[in-house]
Chains A and B, each alone.
Chain A
Amino acid sequence: MKIVVLGVGNIIMGDEGVGVRCIERIDAAGMLPAGVVTIDGGTSTNELLGELEGLDLLVIVDAVATGAPSGTLVRLEGDRIPSAFSNKLSPHQHGINDLLATLTFMGRAPARVVLHGVTPHRIELGLELSPEIEAMVPALIANVVAEVERAS
């Protein structure tokens, strides 16, 4: 079972970096089973291709603007993910969509893609998460860990 948990976002843009902040904490506390790979993807795209080919499960962790109140936890699967990214107010919105489409064209797309996210409260210059989103991080991480455990 090949599983990758990919945190994306820009840590210098406040809540935009929540996906990466989750990865940092998951790694520091060793929360995932051995063999599950975690990646701090930042806002990169093609650099990540090699790590994401032929997976059984890709879990993306990110800030997602769905229109719901800030701090709302979000879980999306499969076909619903690209549309979530195309509505997203983020510099890397184009990147993740392109990355998934590229993997599909190569015939090496993950068997399943699940997005776990939280709607951001404050996206502006700054290295810290807002207190509102900081408070939701443990629950978001718990969702990610549970997703991985269900699959493995």
Chain B
Amino acid sequence: MAKRIVIDPITRIEGHLRIDCVVDGGKVTDAWASGTMWRGVEQILLGRDPRDAWAITQRFCGGCTTVHAIASVRAVENALQMGVPKNAQYIRNLMIAAHAIHDEIVHFYHLSALDWVDITSAAKADPKATAALAESLSDWPNNGVAVQTATKERLTSLISSGQLGIFANGYWGHPAMKLPPEVNLLAVTHYLQALDVQRKANKIVSILGSKTPHIQNVAVGGVSNPIALNSQSVLSIERLLAVKEAIDELSAFITQVYTVDVAAIAAFYPEWTQYGKGVTNYLAAPDFPLNEMGTEFVTTGGYIADGDLSTMKPITTFGDRLLHDNIAESVKHAWYKGGKGPLHPYKGETVAEYTDFSDHGKYSFVKSPTFAGKPAQVGPLARVLVAAANKDEAITKHLTRLLGIVEAVGKFKVPLAALHSTIGRHAARAVMCARNVEILADQWDLLMANIASGDSATFEKPVFPTGEVSGFGFHEAPRGMLSHWIVIENGVIKNYQAVVPTTWNAAPRNEDDQLGPYEASLIGTPLADAELPLEVLRTIHSFDPCLACAVHLVDPTRRDIIQVRAL
């Protein structure tokens, strides 16, 4: 008999996301993704100075502060048709890359690995066998017997205390958990090590940004870091060397631990390359601009239709017309006043109109964005597939390595098509992390060389014209393409819309009633036990959901996270 499962909230971090599934014959047959908080945070910006918008937008979310600051200044600069000094691009690029690495590591180890790793099984592992397994997979020096023993003792004492703390509410012993005890223990060891490593990425952001979690150094027109190599109070050689040291430490962990762990887990869950596919239209913007105007980038952008890489249409520059002309948002199934059809972000309206949850009507505070009239998936997988379509070997070499480890451990072939899946999104995130740490090192070199050539400019003063101008800024944030859209009239903000990655992925049905990426990705997923829908969490978590900026307003706390009823 068919059942309806409601999971609310579904995220381990910020935000309020509800997932409804119909399960029939042991598989998901229909799904709805609902943002349960009102979005409208942009309204706070109306009438304000565009130069202040970045500082406010970075409070949209606690998990991804830097990304909104970057997208916001890029939007204003695009509206003013102005470039920023090269040093400013490099410093922003360093912060973007470090922030992304932080997010990628934390997302895998601390927000989603426990969907795959069973800590109660880890507590039964043999530390010696675990160390031997680890050494067969990687040269990482912190995998020895003493380290594994210490992890096991820490876990055992936590479990025997009866208070699981950070591991409370996990799906321990679930039939879909398949890792051997030794792989579980190794993963918990790396969970702990990742807590230390993520600090190094954060340290880079805080050295350059003056402060985390909220950076202080971004400005419309550049950055506010004065460069003076011999001064203590500004961006000195000492601080730049501290950045370099952190980059090297991150690099070792990412190549020897993170990518290896993702590959090893994938090898034990081959069936998860078959689930979670969903929407295979992919959208990614280029990022890491290398010149003042943002016409040349390190990573490439484009739109892929129906998972066919040969259809890729490139997105190449700030202000790109393909991107500009093809984005619209529908509120047919979202709790906003509508009736005008899908609207371009410059014309976007956000007037809340809450009604009950209606399967065929309105059921979410998330709008439904489309590219060329269709839903699109954004995120690391979109980035990796666009890179593959562009034959960007700097990225595909990491993919080849990761898939090689999966094949060696799992003893099965992994075609590129396997990436269109739940586990594929984790693999793509690890691939991008490995690339991001190289970009971090490259941008550091570029910054040092540019300073050495005598260029110390970091800021150009913006000039606001009378009358109306509009612009948009994009950024490949960790969760996917983020765009901010601004209309400025006589130097003040007239309209502001943020089309955030989770809006793309968590979109409800669109104007044509097509399912959004989260919804579509759940169809066909088998569930071992409807009361314990771990499989649903695996797929949704693989997108790295964060609803705080997709929607925003507090909502009464609900007690029962999972409800199941017969249909």
Contact = CB atoms under 8 A, between A and B. Distances in A.
B158 A105 contact: yes
B19 interface: no
Contacts of B65: 42, 44
B85 to A, nearest CB: 28
Nearest to B158: A105
B165 A126 contact: no
> Of residues B44, B61, B102, B195, which shows the largest number of chain A Cβ atoms within 10 Å of its Cβ?
B195
Given A46-B110, A91-B15, A106-B195, A101 B62 contact: no
B12 interface: yes
- Name B's interface SS: loop
A88 B199 CA distance: 28
A43 interface: yes
B553 interface: yes
Contact of B165 (A48, A95, A101, A127): A101
Contacts of A42: 59, 62, 65, 213-214
Contacts of B40: 125
A12 B62 contact: no
B60 interface: yes
Interface in A90-115: 90-95, 98, 101-102, 104-107
Given A42-B62, A89-B554, A123-B554, A94 B41 contact: no
Given A50-B199, A89-B557, A125-B43, A94 B60 contact: no
Given A49-B199, A104-B165, A43 B192 contact: no
Contacts of B552: 13, 91, 125
B198 interface: yes
B154 interface: yes
B455 interface: no
Contacts of B18: none
B202 interface: yes
Contacts of B14: 43, 91-92, 94-95
> Of residues B62, B202, B213, B557, which shows the largest number of chain A Cβ atoms within 10 Å of its Cβ?
B62
Interface of B: 11-16, 37, 40-41, 43-44, 56, 59-63, 65, 102, 106, 110, 154, 158, 165-168, 192, 195, 198-199, 202-203, 211-214, 548, 552-557
Given A12-B41, A106-B192, 15 more contacts: A12-B59, A13-B554, A16-B554, A40-B211, A40-B214, A41-B213, A44-B212, A46-B198, A50-B199, A50-B203, A88-B557, A89-B557, A90-B554, A95-B14, A125-B552
Q: Which 4 A-B pairs have the closest CB atoms?
A: A43-B62, A44-B213, A101-B166, A50-B199
Interface of A: 10-13, 16, 40-50, 86-95, 98, 101-102, 104-107, 123-127
27 contacts: A11-B59, A12-B59, A13-B552, A42-B65, A43-B14, A44-B212, A44-B213, A45-B62, A46-B102, A46-B110, A47-B212, A87-B557, A89-B555, A91-B62, A91-B548, A94-B11, A94-B13, A95-B13, A98-B166, A102-B195, A104-B165, A104-B166, A105-B165, A106-B192, A124-B553, A126-B44, A127-B44
